[in-house]
């Protein structure tokens, strides 16, 4: 499977309210080319941070799904975040790693993911759903199977192809502003049903207390 095709498949499963965080390099460039959207945050510059940013978002915005798309080099640089994600256990988080066993964006130098089995790391870290896939069909299936099973981890083995046909992600400040605005515009500010229920129960308890104290006096 090629990176471009893998990202195309992932994009087909992205809902209009999902937030997407993608890692530095060709992954963000391909995502920009395939489906640029205000709901995408391209983490250009600092490799390794997509998973941490995705976790923060998922915890703060638990009414929407957060999809992280990053490379093997990126997750290897910040592997501790897998433990933090599993420990925080955000049900709304999907973590995808496109593994070409290389730093493809910076010249194709090999990473250590040939020998370090990232899906086993995810399993040991405590993700609720873990799958390793090698084809578009398997990826499509695992995207469906992982629904509502977060934190979910999908390791997609892809080819190292070095293709640089997609445009660079520029206008970084504008991308941040656009993403922040999209988050604000699409955040559900209505009180959640559970908190409405909690409020109702509190009021009921006060009424009961009042009634029983009147009864006693």
- Judged by beta carbon, residue 108 or residue 191, the one nearer Mg ion is 108
Q: Are 164 and 31 in contact (CB under 8 A)?
A: no
* Cis-peptide into 151, omega within 30 deg: yes
Cα–Cα distance between 210 and 197 in angstroms, integer?
20
71 counts as binding ligand TPP under rule CB under 6 A: yes
3-state secondary structure the chain: CCHHHHHHHHHHCCCCCCEEEECCCHHHHHHHHHHCCCCEEECCCCCCCHHHHHHHHHHHCCCCCEEEEEEHHHHHHCCHHHHHHHHHCCCCEEEEEEECCEEHHHCCEECCCCCCCHHHHHHHHCCCEEEEECCHHHHHHHHHHCCCCCCEEEEEECCCCCCCCCCCCCCHHHHHHHHHHHHHHCCCCCCCHHHHHHHHHHHHHHHHHHHHHHHHC
**CB under 5 to 8 A by kind: which of Mg ion, ligand TPP, none does 25 bind?**
ligand TPP
Q: How many residues bind ligand TPP (CB under 6 A)?
A: 20
- Judged by beta carbon, residue 20 or residue 97, the one nearer Mg ion is 97
Q: Could you tell me the smallest distance in angstroms from the CB atom of residue 73 to Mg ion?
A: 5
> Contact positions toward Mg ion, by CB under 5 A?
71-73, 100, 102, 104
- Judged by beta carbon, residue 106 or residue 148, the one nearer ligand TPP is 106
**CB under 5 to 8 A by kind: which of Mg ion, ligand TPP, none does 26 bind?**
ligand TPP
| Residue list 7-26, contact with ligand TPP (CB under 6 A) | 23-26
Q: Could you tell me the smallest distance in angstroms from the CB atom of residue 153 to ligand TPP?
A: 16
Query: Of the ranges 83-91, 101-109, 125-133, 164-172, which one interacts with ligand TPP (CB under 6 A)?
Result: 101-109
- Contact with ligand TPP (CB under 6 A): which of 4, 41, 42, 103? 103
- Judged by beta carbon, residue 18 or residue 159, the one nearer Mg ion is 159
- Judged by beta carbon, residue 42 or residue 64, the one nearer ligand TPP is 42
**CB under 5 to 8 A by kind: which of ligand TPP, Mg ion, none does 129 bind?**
none
Residue 205 has a CB neighbour count (10 Å cut-off) of 10
187 counts as binding ligand TPP under rule CB under 6 A: no
Q: Which residues bind ligand TPP (CB under 6 A)?
A: 23-27, 45-48, 71-74, 100, 102-106, 111
């Amino acid at each position: 499977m090629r990176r471009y095709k893998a990202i195309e498949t992932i994009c087909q499963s992205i809902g209009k309210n999902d937030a997407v965080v993608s890692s530095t390099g060709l992954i963000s460039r391909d995502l920009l080319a395939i489906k640029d959207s205000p709901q995408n945050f391209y983490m250009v510059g600092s490799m390794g941070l997509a998973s941490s940013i995705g976790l923060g978002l998922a915890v703060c915005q638990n009414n929407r799904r957060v999809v992280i798309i990053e490379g093997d080099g990126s997750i290897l640089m910040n592997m501790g975040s897998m433990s933090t994600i599993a420990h925080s256990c955000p049900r709304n988080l999907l973590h995808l790693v496109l593994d070409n066993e290389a730093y493809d964006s910076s010249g194709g130098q090999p990473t250590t993911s040939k020998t370090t089995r990232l899906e086993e790391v995810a399993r040991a870290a405590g993700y609720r759903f873990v799958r390793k896939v090698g084809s578009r069909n398997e990826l499509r299936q695992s995207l469906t199977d992982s629904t509502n099973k977060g934190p979910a981890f999908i390791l997609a083995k892809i080819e190292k192809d070095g293709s640089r046909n997609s445009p660079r992600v520029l206008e970084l400040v504008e991308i941040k502003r656009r993403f922040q605005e999209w988050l604000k515009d699409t955040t559900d500010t209505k009180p959640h049903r559970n908190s409405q229920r909690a409020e109702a129960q509190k009021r009921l308890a006060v009424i009961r207390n009042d009634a029983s104290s009147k009864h006693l006096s």
